[in-house]
Structure 1
Amino acid sequence: MGIRYGTAYWDLNADQAIFDTAIRTLAEGNSLRSTARIVQIDKDTACDWLDRAAQQSRRVMLYLWRELPLSECQLDELWSFVYTKEQHLEAAKLWCATYGDAWVWIAFAPVWRLVVAFVVGKRTQASANLLLSRVAHVTTASIPFLESDQLREYRTALLEVYGQWYQPTRNGTRGCYPKRRRQPPPDLLYAHVVKQREHGQVVAVTTKVVFGDVATVTARLEASPASTLINTSFVERDNLTLRQTNRRLTRKTNGFSKEVCWMEKQLWLSLAYYHLILPHASLRSEVEVPEPTRGRGSPRRWRPITPAMAAGLTDHVWTTTELLSYRVPVTFLDTLPTIEHLFPPFDSVHQGS
């Protein structure tokens, strides 16, 4: 049992095969109650197992997602809700300020198909600041080329995280000096995707360079292996993947989260499963010599690659058991309290979903 210490299997009073099946079922988008019915366990046991898997996924991702040499990043927000929708919030808000609309803020690396960072919160400046702070924490000192829609919170967040202080000049010789302000550094490149809508439908799409000059942005795009256009298509497609693989994010569902911490737990598990275990079709590479398969199957022509492999974080496709049994070095675990301002631990909520 000592080898299980520090993993999701520690002190697990259940068959490992059943536990692994339940976690795969949850990661594939099933609700807690349907998972409990599939593996024949109690719903509260499914909650406890989700918590175990989420804690493990969070530790593994925080350990692996470090010093990422990110060249391009797309930003977007995904709408959902907790407990009840915003228009039905009058009674619920007396109990908890996190009820109502819940936005999943996503920072996505299109080259690797990798979610670099995410935040679950309201559509506020604080959430945008936290997202960009997490991006800066897990990447190298080099600032990536950033793209987003016209949400103004992103511009302020970029200046808050990457901006440099400067002192504006004083008009005249009398009076106080203006307050210090932030300005973008020379290597900060940021562009908007501007969508024009009529009657709720997109009728035209244009782009706008916000930070940096057009020539530098054009050169960066021409060197990009993902796309030569300013766009947010990759992160928007990833939003669809999240909705398909996470019951809590389905638009019309009765499997929505009752507490925000459970939404975040499901996201940690879903993203770890997506990045480390599921090969991505667009990332596969062709093998030089087709490999034979068992039986009468056609030779294998493609090597499966996960987003984590594309980013150089792992060297093979993980199994569910590898994810749940991975032991994060204790030297890294000792540093987690120093980053709690960026990645606070889950709120302690008794059961619930």
Structure 2
Amino acid sequence: MIEGNSIRSTERMTGIHRDTIMRLTTRTGKACFNFLDKKVRGVRAERVQADEIWTYVFKKQARIGIDTDEPHIGDQYVFVGMDADTKLVISHLVGKRDGQSAYYFMRDLRERVVGRIQLTTDGFKPYLRAVEDTFGGDVNYAQLIKVYGQVPQGTGGRGWYAAAKFMSAYASTVSGVPAPSAVSTSYIERQNLTMRMQMRRMTRLTNAFSKKLENLEAAIALHFAHYNFCRIHQSLRITPAMAAGLTNHVWDLEELLSTAAA
């Protein structure tokens, strides 16, 4: 599952029924969430990048009727805060792309870092209030605002999947004195690619999407626990948790799962 396989492909490879695999993944993911909540604390980060990545549960937002008030289906966003130096994922949250989710995400991030950090986000406006309410003036905060052009119109339906053309980007200082050279979201955007590559349910244009919100939350927690403690980062040559001083060795899956279940 952590290598990006779907439930059914895992079923074919292991000979274990998909319902059993799903129950095990959900139970393990919940344990990993609690493990990360306890373990990733007191992080001494200097530069933190935050971003949100889109996915959906059960059906896409456009397919939901206007009379349906169900927060657990439709569009969901994974908010991620990462240390730009150690590549440690400090905090994550699954929720709607709104002010409430932005606030809870920033509050959780604030509780996990030590000292004054430089924070960079995209131009999502609710971050402005969320950062002010959680960090106050104890942060060097800047937004990297990107400007996109019109989505290109292709023929034969190709334009439907085309990305909007990137035009320009500029930094906007919000609070403190952020270093201009460190105002960037490059590392967190690369983390978005890692998520899409390593979690089948995050892959676009497939039927591998999450059918329940708890399944998505469990898969996200399992991914980040493995990423932080077990997966050797290609450029660091160690795991992000080792680079951040949270552990002194590379964890194998047995250690991760046994520790999370304890």
Task: Say whether the fold is shared (TM-score over 0.5).
Answer: yes
Q: CA deviation at 1:328?
A: 7.3
Residues 1:98 and 2:72 aligned together? yes
Q: Name 1:55's counterpart in structure 2.
A: 30
Q: Does 1:148 align with 2:121?
A: yes
Please tell me the residue identity of whatever aligns with 1:154.
Y
- How far apart in 2 are the matches of 1:145 and 1:29? 32
Q: CA shift at 1:211, angstroms?
A: 0.8
In 1, distance between residues paired with 2:255 and 2:58? 34
Check the 8 A contact 1:59/1:328 in 2, yes or no. no
Alpha-carbon deviations, 1:207-259, whole Å to 9, x = none?
1211124xxx23xx6xxxxxx34110110000000000011111111110011
Q: Is the 8 A contact 2:121 2:142 kept in 1?
A: yes
Identity %: 33
Q: Is 2:250 the counterpart of 1:313?
A: no
**5+ residue gaps, structure 2:** 151-163
Alignment of 1:273-288 (within 5 A): 273-284=226-237
- 2:168 equivalent in structure 1: 204
1:101 shift after superposition = 0.6
Q: Which has the higher contact order (CA 8 A, sep 6+)?
A: 2
Matches of residues 214-233 of structure 1 in structure 2 within 5 Å? 217-218=178-179, 228-233=181-186
Partner of 1:193: 144
Decide whether aligned partners of structure 1 residues 276 and 27 sit closer, same or farther in structure 2, where only a CA change above 3 A counts.
same
What is the rounded CA distance, in whole Å, between the counterparts of 2:197 and 2:261 in structure 1?
29
Mapping for residues 253-332 of structure 1, pairs under 5 Å: 253-284=206-237, 305-326=238-259
- TM-score, structure 1 normalization: 0.67
Given the two structures, how large is their TM-score scaled by the length of structure 2? 0.90
Q: What is aligned with 1:289? A: none
Q: Which residue of 2 aligns with 1:108?
A: 82
Task: State how far apart, in whole Å, the 2-side matches of 1:197 and 1:158 are.
Answer: 25
Specify whether residues 41 and 95 from structure 1 end up closer, same or farther in structure 2 by C-alpha distance, changes over 3 A only.
farther
Q: Secondary structure of the equivalent of 1:279? A: coil
Q: Given the superposition, is the C-alpha separation of residues 206 and 54 from structure 1 closer, same or farther in structure 2, using an over 3 Å criterion?
A: same
Counterpart AA for 1:27 = I
Segments of structure 1 that go 5 or more residues without pairing to the other structure are: 1-25, 164-184, 222-227, 285-304, 330-353
Other-structure match for 1:340: none
Contact 1:191 1:230 in 2 (8 A): yes
Distance 1:72 1:46, change over 3 A: same
**Equivalent position SS for 2:76:** strand
Q: 1:311 and 1:97 mapped to 2: Cα distance?
A: 35
Runs of 4+ residues over 2 Å off in structure 1: 93-97
Q: Give the number of aligned pairs.
A: 249
Q: Does 1:117 align with 2:91?
A: yes
Residues 83 and 100 in structure 1, CA contact (< 8 A), matched pair in contact too: yes
Give CA deviations for 1:133-183 in whole Å, capped at 9, x if unaligned: 11112222x1311101111111110111122xxxxxxxxxxxxxxxxxxxx
Cα shift at 1:29: 1.4
